[in-house]
Structure 1
Amino acid sequence: MTLIDAPVLALSDPVNLRDLAGIPVAGGVVREGFAIRADDLAIVTEAYADRLVADGLRTVIDLRSAAEVEATGRGPLGSRTSVNYHHVPFMAAVGEVDAAEMADQSRFGAFYLRMFEGAAAQIVTSLAIIAHAPGAVAFHCAAGQDRTGVLAASLLLALGAEPADIVADYTRTGENSAAIMTRIAPTMRALMDRLGFDLDEAARAATRTAFSSEPMRHLLAGLAERHTDLLAPLRAAGLDDALIARLRAGAVA
């Protein structure tokens, strides 16, 4: 049972899904099939879900808010008994980004920093799931950009990636911005309408054409300014050397 009617909840293939394979980290590169970042996996087609499972997907981490999950359900992957599902929301509600930030992606940096520090416990939980999961792990939000971008950055930091490589991975989403907005617009518009949000700012965000690497640069620079160790907020929330070692043992090729 979902809040959004079936005709609105059109299923489609992801447009911002990619394996983190090949990104340089301490001791090598991320191996293929370790971690996958994606846009909304709750609205994939049955055929795409089958393909992901056949390729080794065994765990999904859903970073969306409770309202988003309630609106769409888990989707086709939720019925695959071979896939473990974990709901780890990085925001309590979709409205945590203010209107000015939502309308200008280049200004998301302060939001990313708040998320990294405020959702540190959820980030550590996600990293623990990734470290212990059998097979490939996919993590996603709606666009695969913001919440997913913060978790990808957190994982890569734990693996010893350089800031420039983290920014480079984040920037790849820019190639997919138009397709992302087209794909998630029906779901997000219906959800925000049901929740009573003013859609004007959301519509402007959905039609933006520019993409900036500034939010990720802001996050990493902000962490460097506030902490001698960029992982300090996560360490305070439970990230320890044993978990980092397990992540690196599983990830590095």
Structure 2
Amino acid sequence: MSENRIPDVSATERWIELEGVVNMRDSGGLPTRDGGTVQPLRLLRSDNLQDLSEDDVRHVVEVLGVSDIVDLRSDTEVSTEGPGPLWHVESLTHHHHSLFADGRAVTAEQALAVPEHSTRPVRDATFWSEHYLGYLASRPDSVSAALDVVSRSSGATVVHCAAGKDRTGTVVALALAVAGVPHEVIVEDYALTGERIEKIIARLMPRDLYGTALRQQSVDDQRPRPETMQTILDTLQEEFGGATGWLSQQGWADGDIERLRTRLTT
């Protein structure tokens, strides 16, 4: 196993097992290039939080120490699904930063990256990488705002969308890149969601908003592929000098970038 490779998940216990989610895990423990690690309970990633039980809510607040929720779902998803159980917890601050245009009616196909009129197979990694780069091109304000929340949070921040795979994967990848996590580790962390893809789809399939779109695909169509995230990181490096360069173009000062890096690693 290479020096920067993610240790066995069962050993690091990065998966967070709750009744109401299937794809929540902690970024804590991932190595950085300078020999450090991402600190535990700073940045959590998850599928949607609509089904949390009372025990789950208690665990999120009292054990995980979550203070902020970053919801990347579209306005359509948020309004259709309604408020989840965490909305009623006064100690939590909710931040909604859709990765789709404001006021735009978003279909389930768009939210889950299921092409409605495309002849390219969904399993083509080029399709997925273009889709993720579209988030950065069309909603840099939301991506930047989500990362700003992480940098200023007093406790753990949960970043989530519907599946915790595409939108969440893009935002978390940028955060980890700023923290100094090697690209190969970020890629492996992104692909780790593949271990839970069947459970993720089973959670979303009964929901009116997502079920029809998901039935158009096989499980493998939605499975994350390492080359997709590698393309995103390579593109950021080639066009902006990396995630920090991209944030600089969004108006982040050196101190802002250092605040995010410090929050995740110190």
In structure 1, distance between residues paired with 2:124 and 2:20: 24
Q: 1:104 aligns with which of 101, 123, 141?
A: 123
| Partner AA of 2:257 in structure 1 | I
Contact 2:190 2:224 in 1 (8 A): no
8 A Cα contact 2:197 2:219, kept in partner: no
CA distance in 1, matches of 2:206, 2:19: 12
Partner of 2:95: 86
Query: 2:264 matched to which residue of 1?
Result: 251
Distance 1:51 1:70 in 2: 26
Deviation by residue 1:57-107 (Cα, 9 ceiling, x = unmatched)? 111000000010001123000001111111111123244443347843733
- 8 A contact 1:43–1:75 mirrored in 2: yes
1:211 CA displacement: 4.2
Runs of 4+ in 1 over 6 A off after TM superposition: none
Letter in 1 for 2:235: G
Q: TM-score, normalised on structure 2?
A: 0.80
Give the match for residue 45 of structure 1. Answer: 53
Aligned to 2:66: 57
* Amino acid corresponding to residue 205 of structure 1 in structure 2: Q
Post-superposition Cα deviations, 1:14-67, rounded to whole Å, max 9, x if no partner, equal: 111000001122541111110100000133222211211111111100000001
- For 2:150 and 2:73, the matched residues in 1 are separated by 17
Asked if 1:217 corresponds to 2:230, the answer is yes
Counterpart CA distance in 2 for 1:120 and 1:205 is 29
- Where structure 1 has 5 or more consecutive residues not aligned to the other structure, the ranges are 1-10, 194-198
| Structure 2 Cα separation of the partners of residues 220 and 126 of structure 1 | 18
TM alignment of 1:1-253, pairs within 5 A? 13-27=20-34, 28-55=36-63, 56-92=65-101, 93-94=106-107, 95-96=109-110, 97=113, 98-99=115-116, 100=118, 103-104=122-123, 106=125, 107-187=127-207, 190-191=208-209, 199=212, 202-205=214-217, 207-208=219-220, 210-253=223-266
- Is the alpha carbon distance of 1:46 and 1:204 closer, same or farther for their aligned partners in structure 2, counting shifts above 3 Å? same
CA distance in 1, matches of 2:224, 2:148: 31
Q: How many residue pairs are counted as aligned between the two chains?
A: 235
Q: What is the TM-score normalised by the length of structure 1?
A: 0.84
Q: Gaps spanning 5+ residues in structure 2: where?
A: 1-17
The aligned counterpart of 2:13 is none
Q: Return the structure number with greater relative CO, CA threshold 8 A, min gap 6.
A: 1
In structure 1, how many angstroms separate the alpha carbons of the residues matched to 2:243 and 2:258?
A: 17
